[in-house]
Structure formats: structure tokens, C-alpha cells
Structure 1
Amino acid sequence: MNDPTRAVPDMPNYPPDEVRVNDPFAVALGNASLLGVGYLMLRRRPLALAAVVVSVVLVSRLVSTADSAYEVAVLVWWVAVVGHGWFLARRGGGGGGGRGSARGRRLVALGVTLPVLLAVGLLRFDASRIGQSVTDARERGDCAGVLSAQDEVWFGHRIADAPLSARGDDVVRACDRLRTARTDLATALSGDTDALKQGFGTLASVLAEPGNEKTVETTLDGFLRGLPTKDSCETVTVTDWLHDRRRSDDVLDRSAGTAERTAPGALVGCGDDLMADDSWEQARTHYQQLLDRYPDDELADRARKGARKATLSIELANVRNLLSGGTDTQPEYCSHPAKYSGAKPVGKGTNRALFYASDEYSIASDYPKRFPGSWKAGDADDAVLVVCMGEETHGPSVETCPYESESSGALSYVSFHKIEIPVKVYEMRTGKLIADRTVRIGGTSCPSVFYAEAGSDPGPRYVDASKSDVNAAFRPLVVR
């Protein structure tokens, strides 16, 4: 039987701050750290571990790919775990909230999440500042400034704002390629057209990427400032390539203007250098190139004079070669004459000449020694005429005289003839044949004694031509 006076035991009277709670706000706030803190509050350790793993995987993929899709995925995941934590806490899921006030749990969650969110926010802000510095440097064409700014980026920036950090990396890579282009273009200044082509190809590929106009322009300007180089011929090689380069309707076309300003001086300078090295053909080509491309340039007169000088040098070298070649002693010139435009024209008075006999054993081979010095040229550049003397033959008979052989006493009649020599005279200035005649040389005949081989017929004999006889015969050829 129950005792109505027996006291009913009192219910435990816990302090307000020790009630068992599952605070949705604290759980959601804890999960907002992406570290699974909310799940730990619910004693859902597997969920907490899974949340951390997924967060790490998403952040890793975001950092490694810098793909904005992963940034969106992280944001979606963040919303999902926050919402899921709130839902579980509201439903009362989990192993109990444990003792502690809602306020205390919220403070714990805030103590974990707030530093994380604050760090992400500050890092995104700093990444934005760095990104702006990179952009400003690129717009100034300052690759050194780009590298300096992007060097401030570290792993935290890449977690907080991977796409922005990756864009900075792209700018750095573009600058690295421009540094390679700068090296190629520096090599190209030595006349290396392969390096020049490679350098411009790199500039074009970087320029095709938006935003790189100023950095490409700065790199190009650095190259163009190197023109002209100290070596005029190397400069010509570069300006020729730039002149022939196909236009691209962008900043790279500025190179054509520099080439136009630089080429005339380089062409003349290279022509002068080649003239000094006796490379006359190449020198004339460079002079003529200036006259063809820039006929109104202030250096055109100098180029014309240079081309004329080169032409004369080429002609003179050719004539000298022809005069020294051929068989025996008669040079090739006598059968294949050529002009030397620098020679004096044939005129009144004495025209200095170069004399060549048919061979060294001919009678005529000795004649140049008898000519007056005023007739004889010392070299091709001093000659007005080239006189080619053929093989001598017997001309008209002058006198026939009887001679008695000392050995046999036989009497022979010997005829003495003038000396006939076929002669071709060429004007050095034009290379044209101006005289083709036979020179007839007289002299004394019927000497008292002459020598002949015993038992042989003396045959016809040449007159004995004196120096005056020889000079009289050849004078009309050289004196007018």
C-alpha cells in the first residue's frame, strides 16, 4: 500500500549551460570550415573524415588545374556540407550533442571556421592585388615587373584564388617565351636569319594571346634599337629579311619601317666594305640594290659612284685575266676581247698600248723593246689599245742578190723580202676591234755575208729592220 506521505523524488536540475543540445547553427558553422567540425560535434566521425577527404581532393584539383569549374565545385561542396550539417542537427541525428551550451559550441565552431574563412578572404584579396600588379606590369610591357609580382604568389594564394594565380603564371610563361625570343633576336643581329625567323615566330605566337601587345612591343623595340649593327653587311642581311617579311597587320610590322630607315646606310656601308675586300661583284649588287629600292635616298649618288667603281674594278679584273691567259705568249684577250670602261678613249696623239706577239720565238716578240716608252702602257688600267701581232710572213721582195757558198763555191740567188705581220688592234675602253691590217716592215737587204746551213737552200730572207723601220711601221697604229 502506498504511503501518501512519501515524497516523490525530484527530477535532476541541470544548470542551463549543461543541457544536451544539437545546435544546427553550430554544426553548420563548424562544417563551413570544410574540416568536418560540424560532423564531429554530432559525433559523426566517418562523415567528418569523408568531408575532409573530399575537401582536400577538390582543393588539390583546383590548385593543380586552376579550372574555374573546380572553384565552383568547391563552393557547391561548401554549401552542401553546411546545409547537410544543419539538416542533421535539426533532425537530431548523431550520437547526441554532449554536454555544453549552444553558445559554447557556436564559439568553438566560430573559432575554427572564422580563421579559415578570414584566411581565404585575405589571401584572395592579396591574390587580387598581385594579379593587378601583374596586369599593370604587362600593360607597361615590363616583364621584369611581371616576374617580380608573380614571385609573391605562394601555395596559399593558389588555394584561395587558383584561376587568378594561374593567369599570372600564364603571363610569366609568355614573358619567358619573350625572353627566348629576345635571345634569338640578339643572335639574329649577327646576320643569322634562322634565329631571326625563330624570334619573330615566337613574338607572333605570344602576340596571338590577348593582353601581350605591350610586352611584345617592348621586346621588338629592344631588337630594333640594335639596328644598325657595327657590321654593315650583317645589318643588310637583317634588313633584307625584314623587307621581305610578309606583313601581319600588327605591331610586328613596325620592323619594316626600321628596315626602310636603316637599309640604305647599311647597303652603302656593306658595299664599301666589300670593295675594300676586292669583292666587287657583291659590292655592286649592294649598291644596285639601294638604287633599285631607294632611288630617291640621299645616299643614291654615293651608291651610283660605288656601283660605277665596282663595275670598273670587275671589268679591269676580267681584262687583266684575259691578258694573262691563253697559250704561248699571246693572251686570250686577242681572241676574246673585253671592255674596260675606265680606259681613256682613242684620241689624237699617242695612244699607249699593250703589245703581244704570237709567240716568244717570233720576230715580233722583240719589237716592243724597240718602241718608244711613250707608246707602251705599264698595265691594263694605263692602256688605250691592245695590239695583237700574228705570225710574221714574207712580204714583197725588195732585192735579189747572188751569194757564193764558202764550202762548195756554188752560186745562189737569195731574195730579200719585207716583213709582214698581221695585226689586230682593240680599243681597251670598248673592247672593239678598231684595226685589222697587215703591218709591212722594210729594212736593208743584201748584206755582204750571211750564214746558212751547209748544203741547204738559203731560201728567201727577211730584210734587216732597224729600230726606226719597226717604229715607222707600227706608228700609225698608236699615233694619230
Structure 2
Amino acid sequence: MNEPTHALPEMPEPMPPEDRAHDPLAVALGNASLLGVGYLMLRRRRLAAAAAVVTVVLVSRLVSTARPAYEIAVLVWWVAVVAHGWFLARRGGSGVALRRQSVVALCITLSVLLAVALLRFDASRIEESVTEARERGDCAGVSSAQDRVWFGHRVADAPLSARGDESVEACDRLRSARTELNTALTGNTDALDEGFGTLASVLAEPGNEKTVETTLTGFLGGLPAKDPCTTVTVTDWLRDRKRSDDVLDRSADTARRTAPAALVGCGDELMADSSWQDARAHYERLLDRYPGDELADKARKGARKATQSIELANVRSLLAPGSGTQPEYCSRPAKYSGAKPMGKGTNRALFYTGNTYGDDYTDKLPGSWKAADAADAVLVVCMGEDTFGTSVRTCPYQGRTSGSTTYVTFHKIAIPVKVYEVRTGKLVAKRKIQINGSSCPSLITYFTAGDSDSGPPTTRYVSESKSDVRSAFRPLVVR
């Protein structure tokens, strides 16, 4: 009997190695992350590394320059790596879809895109906050809002983040302008030039009108400065500044509002320092520029007072003792319009003698006729040298040793005088006054040369008394 034959089981034919299939969609999605994930799925590590390097370079350039051209370059690079990944996957595999690859690639790419979208959204909110603060003129708010920007925002939306940086930089320049303008409030016109130059350059950039206006308002609020003369320096510069037909022209209005009081205040300070020429210039500047201002009357009085102070100083200088017997005033008079006019009654006078050796005539005049200074004088009396006036009497005198008789004629004391009115500097009298006195005393004294005695001189002055001197000078000062 034949034993049953046991057949060996058929061995399955060896399967061909599994074709490693790659889903083109998964690879494309992986590359859409710009991290080279799709290339890693294809085991193209070098391509993945190269793609990552290019991405890093483009992003770094985008962040550092914030130029829209680099945003376009990143977009073109994104399209290129997505298309290239799809092409490689389609060419290298059987086309069998692998669900897990798609899910992984989708999750990675969506995470990247979602992060970029959120960062761009947040960057736009920050930029809105920066814009609102800038439109309020709030530089502190601009800086505070822009401080929220970090590297992620710059990667996601570099141009938008850069606009915020530009706003902060403009505010930094305005802070510098504020410092320059604060220095200008000390009267530094160079700082004014620099400060307004900075304001103009920032204003030339769109969107900075309010921040510039706020900075300008802060500066103008510092006027008037503590020192009125400093205020005049600043307001003169602002007044002379060339119009720019923008918000900076507000400075001219402030100058017009502030200058009158500053001009008067500075004029008063200069008057107190005896700088009368400069004081008058400040008063007159107000009258020339702002004739209708409420301070015009005060400026007019100040100018008149300054003029009188200048005149008085000049008169005092001319009356100062010189090298001659009379002061310069007697030959070159000048007016002092602040003096009292000549009128009825006693006109107080300053008396100046022309005698080389002096005289004692003015000592015999009443104190009420004499002025202490040009400030309270009505007249200036300039006296020439004494000469013999009208003869009064002739008397015989016998020489002491010779015994001969000499006839001596006594004369009045003649003095040429010029009288000037201090108020106008005009000559009001030019005459020769004569002082009378007693004559023919019982004895006269005289000097002889050696032992010879030729007798006394034949002409002599009368002996004047206090009343005689006053009678001669009275017509000059009493009207």
C-alpha cells in the first residue's frame, strides 16, 4: 500500500522591497513651513539644510532692513520650495498616499503659519497703538507701545515693526530738540537754530505733526523766561524767523504776545544798571513794532527817562573840571530836558569862575541860588576873568616914604558872564556884570619894589560886600 505522500507547503514568493512612497502633498506642506521638513521626508538632508540656510538668510535680511523687497523674496522662496518638494515627491515614488506624512506636515506648517499670522496681527495692534499715541502728540506713549515689539514681530511683519521704530526715532529727535530749546530759553540763539532745525526735519516726515506741535507748545510755554532781556533775545529771533507755513509759525504769535512786556522789563533792568542807551533802544523798539500795545505809554515814558538820563550824564561830563579855568560846557553847552524850565522867582544855578586864582564871589551868594548838581540846576553861569569896570571915585594918597601924592581911581569889579538854560542848553544871557563896593578908604596897602616907593597903583577895585555881590548877580538868577 502506498504510503500517502505529504506535499511540502508552498513558500510564498518573496515580495519585492516595499517601495517607499511619499505623498507630494505632504512634502509640499512640509516645505511650506520653510524649515525644510518636506526635504527631510524625502531624506534629502542636504537640501533640507540648504533650504533652512536660505530661509535664515532671507529672514535675517528682512529683519535687519525691513525692506518690502525681502518680503517678496521670502514669498517667492516659499512658493519655490513648495513647488520643488511637490515635484520631487511626484518623480521619486509610486504615488501611494501616506496619510500619516500628510498629517505631520500639515501640523508643522499650520503651526508655523498660525504663529506668523498671530504675530502679524499683534504687530498691527501695536502699530495702531503707536499711531494713536503719535496722533495725540504723546511720545511717551509711542515709546511704551513700541517697547512691546520683539524679534518675533519683526520676523512676521518687519516693515510694520520698522514704522514703529521710525516713530520712536522721531520722538528721540524731538527729545533732543526739547533739550536744545530749553537751552535756548537762556538766550542761546545757536540752540534756537538747532532746535527749530530739528523740529522742521521731523515735521517733514509724514505723521509727526502732533508730536512736533506738542514739543513746540512745551517750549513756547516756557516764555516769558525769568530774565526779560533773555526773553527779548528769544522773541527777536522768533520774530525774525522766516515763515514756513506750518505749525512752527505759531512761534511768531507767541513772540508778538510776549515781546512787549519783555522789552519794557528789559528796558527797566537796563535803566537800573545805568545802561541808558540800551534801555532807550528797547523802549523804542516796542514803540516801533507794537505802537498800539497797552504798554506803549509806559515804554514812551521809559524812553523819555532814558533820554534824559543820557542827556544828564553828558551835561555832567561837560561840567566836569578840565584843564582850563572853565568846564567844557561853557564853550559847548548841551541840553538836559529833565531840568526845570527857567521861570519867575529864583532859578537855581551852577556857577563857574574864569579867574585863574579863583574868587570868593560865589561864596557870598545865598545857598538858595546855588544848585548842588546839574540834576537840580536851572542855569549854568560861566564867569570870565575880572576886569576894571566903571570908575566910582578918585582919591589922593600920599606915598609912605616919598611923600608924593598919587591919585587912585576906584572901579567897579566887571565880570563877563554867559548864562545857559540847562533844560535847552541855550544861551539866555551874555553880559558884563559890575560889582559895586566902597571906595577911598583912609589907608590902602600896596607893594613896592625894593627901597623905591613910587606910590600905589592908580587903579583899584572897590571893596565889595556880600550885599554888593548879591546885587550884581541877582538879575542873572532871579526873575
Stretch of structure 1 that moved more, 49-58 or 322-331: 322-331
| Superposition CA RMSD, Å | 2.4
**Deviations, residues 421-477 of structure 1 (Å, cap 9, x unaligned):** 221110011011111122222222333121314348754432222222211211111
1:19–1:101 contact (8 Å) kept in structure 2: no
**In structure 2, C-alpha distance between the alignment counterparts of 1:231 and 1:473, rounded to whole Å:** 56
**In structure 2, C-alpha distance between the alignment counterparts of 1:360 and 1:189, rounded to whole Å:** 59
Q: Which amino acid aligns with 2:362?
A: P
**In structure 1, C-alpha distance between the alignment counterparts of 2:30 and 2:66, rounded to whole Å:** 27
Give % identity.
Answer: 74
Paired residue for 1:74? 74
Q: Which amino acid aligns with 2:469?
A: V
1:362–1:392 contact (8 Å) kept in structure 2: no
Paired residue for 1:418? 412
Following superposition, the deviation at residue 72 of structure 1 comes to 0.7
Paired residue for 2:277? 281
2:23–2:97 contact (8 Å) kept in structure 1: no
1:430/1:92 Cα in 2 relative to 1: closer, same or farther (>3 Å)?
A: same
TM-score, length of structure 1 as denominator length: 0.91
1:424 alignment partner, SS class: strand
Paired residue for 2:446? 451
Aligned residues: 468
Stretch of structure 1 that moved more, 387-396 or 216-225: 387-396
Paired residue for 1:12? 15
Following superposition, the deviation at residue 331 of structure 1 comes to 1.9
**Deviations, residues 263-311 of structure 1 (Å, cap 9, x unaligned):** 1222222222222232222222222111111111112122222222222
Stretch of structure 1 that moved more, 213-222 or 45-54: 45-54
Paired residue for 2:3? none
Q: Which amino acid aligns with 1:473?
A: A
Q: Which amino acid aligns with 2:139?
A: C
Paired residue for 2:389? 395
Gaps of at least 5 residues in structure 1 are none
1:437 alignment partner, SS class: strand
Paired residue for 1:477? 476
Paired residue for 1:55? 55
- Counterpart of 1:357 (choices 336, 349, 353) is 353
**In structure 2, C-alpha distance between the alignment counterparts of 1:436 and 1:146, rounded to whole Å:** 84
1:320 alignment partner, SS class: helix
Paired residue for 2:115? 119
- Counterpart of 1:267 (choices 263, 274, 280) is 263
- Counterpart of 2:365 (choices 344, 355, 371) is 371
Following superposition, the deviation at residue 19 of structure 1 comes to 5.9
Paired residue for 1:248? 244
1:295 alignment partner, SS class: coil
**Deviations, residues 58-117 of structure 1 (Å, cap 9, x unaligned):** 111111111110111111111111111111111118xx99xx972111222223322222
| 1:175-194 superposed matches below 5 A | 175-194=171-190
**In structure 2, C-alpha distance between the alignment counterparts of 1:361 and 1:320, rounded to whole Å:** 23
1:222 alignment partner, SS class: helix
**In structure 1, C-alpha distance between the alignment counterparts of 2:131 and 2:288, rounded to whole Å:** 46
TM-score, length of structure 2 as denominator length: 0.92
Stretch of structure 1 that moved more, 109-118 or 371-380: 109-118
Following superposition, the deviation at residue 11 of structure 1 comes to 5.0
| 1:305-344 superposed matches below 5 A | 305-328=301-324, 330-344=326-340
**In structure 1, C-alpha distance between the alignment counterparts of 2:461 and 2:355, rounded to whole Å:** 18
2:391–2:410 contact (8 Å) kept in structure 1: yes
Following superposition, the deviation at residue 8 of structure 1 comes to 7.1
Gaps of at least 5 residues in structure 2 are 1-6
- Counterpart of 1:238 (choices 208, 230, 234) is 234
**In structure 1, C-alpha distance between the alignment counterparts of 2:447 and 2:392, rounded to whole Å:** 20
**In structure 2, C-alpha distance between the alignment counterparts of 1:155 and 1:407, rounded to whole Å:** 131
Following superposition, the deviation at residue 355 of structure 1 comes to 0.6
1:355 alignment partner, SS class: strand
**In structure 1, C-alpha distance between the alignment counterparts of 2:164 and 2:60, rounded to whole Å:** 19
Paired residue for 1:21? 21
**In structure 1, C-alpha distance between the alignment counterparts of 2:101 and 2:19, rounded to whole Å:** 12
Following superposition, the deviation at residue 252 of structure 1 comes to 0.5
Paired residue for 1:381? 375
Following superposition, the deviation at residue 141 of structure 1 comes to 0.5
**In structure 1, C-alpha distance between the alignment counterparts of 2:231 and 2:161, rounded to whole Å:** 42
Stretch of structure 1 that moved more, 259-268 or 242-251: 259-268
1:57/1:468 Cα in 2 relative to 1: closer, same or farther (>3 Å)?
A: same
